[in-house]
Amino acid sequence: MTILHDDRLFPPDPETRSIARRLYGEVRNLPILSPHGHTNAQWFAEDTPFSDPTRLFIVPDHYVYRMLYSQGVPLTDLGVGADSEPDPRTIWRQFAKHYYLFRATPTRMWLDYAFQELFGMESRLSSENADKFYDVIAEKLQTPTFRPRALLERFRIEVLATTDSPLDTLLHHRAIRALNLKTRILPTFRPDPVVDPDFDLFHQNVRKLGELTSEDTGTWVGYLAALRQSRARFKEMGCTTTDHGHPTAATADLDETTTAALFRKVTSEKASSEEKELFRAQMLTEMARMSLDDGLVMQIHPGSFRNHNAALHQKFGRDVGADIPTRTDYVHHLHPLLNRFGNEGRLTVILFTLDESTYSRELAPLAGHYPCLRLGPPWWFHDSPEGMLRFREYTTETAGFYNTVGFNDDTRALLSIPGRHDTARRVDCGYLARLVADHRLDEDEAHEVARDLAYRLAQHAYKL
């Protein structure tokens, strides 16, 4: 008995399905490149076992608890928040009782994948078998083969990137490098805490950046020097990319005097929201300039209205499932940065979106022209079978396959990584199979593209 069918996500027409099977057969077992994600370097540095099924699957996963919350389950009943400490098994039972809510969601698919492939479960999670699931998983988590480093090897993860603040000492990354693991674990330079004036504790962060680097971050010149030095420190730990999570895609290209004045304004606590936005915009251009020097690949992840639910933000802090996508403008907003550096072949800027209406209207036309631009895979809410299929259907005809960069799992949940990559590989093979069945692509080409999407494009775009 299995939970998941081996033909899942393949097109139903028998001939198309058999093409999809052939394509998938050749990429199914390729190693995993995970160049953008949010796992914790400490796990691998210390290799401590995961504590229990609830803390592994529910408490850290905002995909899981946002759905339960939307249907009336209080977050405190799910172990979210500092004060809350309900019994893990009770939470697990709540989760199992509500498992039907996840029908036809990608979360359900990743969970089922982990239950079946990693823990050997043979039937769907339900109230009836909740305790059995809990016991089996809890027991296995204490065995050596379920320790973080063993999982990396089992998952055939060749590269795993974390996401890190310039204020992070990269202590765990340093420790990991000494271990000589088969998996290369790399930090990603995410400067939001020190370049976004709206970030929690921005002023304090900029001061700390100065202390860490021994630069005077009270001045524009010192601030830039501190950022440059931090990037160099990340590079030493193997970092190949930066990541930027701004509310919009706005960029600017101001002259130095104006920028220095703007910097004084935003660091003196008196800036308007327009000035803060302009500063973030200018900082994307500054980061691009630094990338031209040090070769780090830029990732831009715009368009999330963070902490939309003020009451929850106040009570539980960031990242509790209340970030909501907004309309995003790439054509006008990226114009200043592209006019400055868009024709630079040495620069790589990978664009992500939460606004699918931009795929065919803005992103594919931009990436199909500017040498520096590439399209990141479907992101966050759109990292799902239908979302992945739409991404291909809306971008391929204008940008082709070779202006995209393969798949990112973008996850905090280590155990979901193989399931997520498997979903992406299946959906891409299904899409390619349809092109072959429609005679838009020859099958020998589809085999090559399938490998490119599963492995080579990420390797090349992220300089892995």
Taking the least distance from each CB to its own copies, the nearer of 256 and 438 is: 438
Query: Does the protein bind its own copies through residue 355 (CB under 8 A)?
Result: yes
Query: Does the protein bind its own copies through residue 322 (CB under 8 A)?
Result: yes
Q: How many residues bind its own copies, per CB under 8 A?
A: 90
At 137, phi and psi to the nearest 5?
A: -65, -45
Taking the least distance from each CB to its own copies, the nearer of 11 and 222 is: 11
| Cα-Cα-Cα-Cα dihedral sign, residues 290, 291, 295, 297 | positive
Residue 135 Cα distances to 61, 70, 99, 126, 129, angstroms = 20, 28, 18, 14, 10
Using CB under 8 A as the binding rule, the residues of this chain from 85 to 104 that contact its own copies are: 100-104
Interior angle at CA 244, CA 255 and CA 174, nearest 5: 115
Interior angle at CA 80, CA 79 and CA 86, nearest 5: 20
| Near its own copies by CB under 8 A: residue from 324, 412, 451, 460 | 324
Using CB under 8 A as the binding rule, the residues of this chain from 282 to 311 that contact its own copies are: 305, 308-311
Q: How far is the CB of 3 from its own copies (least distance, A)?
A: 9
**CA-based nearest residue to 114, from 409, 416, 414, 383:** 416
Query: Does the protein bind its own copies through residue 463 (CB under 8 A)?
Result: no
- Contact between 68 and 95 under an 8 Å Cβ cutoff? The reply is yes
Using CB under 8 A as the binding rule, the residues of this chain from 38 to 67 that contact its own copies are: 66-67
Query: Does the protein bind its own copies through residue 393 (CB under 8 A)?
Result: yes
| Near its own copies by CB under 8 A: residue from 61, 434, 450, 462 | 434
Taking the least distance from each CB to its own copies, the nearer of 222 and 365 is: 365
Q: How far is the CB of 228 from its own copies (least distance, A)?
A: 26
Using CB under 8 A as the binding rule, the residues of this chain from 438 to 457 that contact its own copies are: 438-442, 445, 448-449
Query: Does the protein bind its own copies through residue 213 (CB under 8 A)?
Result: no
Query: Does the protein bind its own copies through residue 114 (CB under 8 A)?
Result: no
Taking the least distance from each CB to its own copies, the nearer of 291 and 396 is: 396
| Near its own copies by CB under 8 A: residue from 158, 387, 451, 459 | 387
β-bridge mates for residue 349, sequence order = 298, 373
Using CB under 8 A as the binding rule, the residues of this chain from 119 to 158 that contact its own copies are: 124
Taking the least distance from each CB to its own copies, the nearer of 52 and 428 is: 428
Q: What is the largest CA-CA distance in the chain?
A: 68
- Contact between 254 and 260 under an 8 Å Cβ cutoff? The reply is no
| Near its own copies by CB under 8 A: residue from 207, 361, 451, 460 | 361
Q: How far apart are CA 149 and CA 171, in angstroms?
A: 17
- Contact between 20 and 8 under an 8 Å Cβ cutoff? The reply is no
Interior angle at CA 117, CA 417 and CA 57, nearest 5: 55
Using CB under 8 A as the binding rule, the residues of this chain from 1 to 30 that contact its own copies are: 4-5, 7-13, 15-16
Query: Does the protein bind its own copies through residue 403 (CB under 8 A)?
Result: yes
Residue 214 Cα distances to 172, 223, 283, 291, 293, angstroms = 22, 10, 21, 22, 21
| Near its own copies by CB under 8 A: residue from 48, 51, 70, 268 | 70
Query: Does the protein bind its own copies through residue 414 (CB under 8 A)?
Result: no
| Near its own copies by CB under 8 A: residue from 129, 181, 208, 402 | 402
Taking the least distance from each CB to its own copies, the nearer of 238 and 247 is: 247
Locate all alpha helices (DSSP H) within 216-309, ordered by sequence. 220-236, 256-267, 273-294
Interior angle at CA 347, CA 216 and CA 404, nearest 5: 130
Say which amino acid occupies 295.
G
> Which two tokens mark 223?
């601030």
Say which amino acid occupies 386.
E
Query: Does the protein bind its own copies through residue 343 (CB under 8 A)?
Result: yes
Taking the least distance from each CB to its own copies, the nearer of 234 and 401 is: 401
Query: Does the protein bind its own copies through residue 31 (CB under 8 A)?
Result: no
Q: How far is the CB of 40 from its own copies (least distance, A)?
A: 24
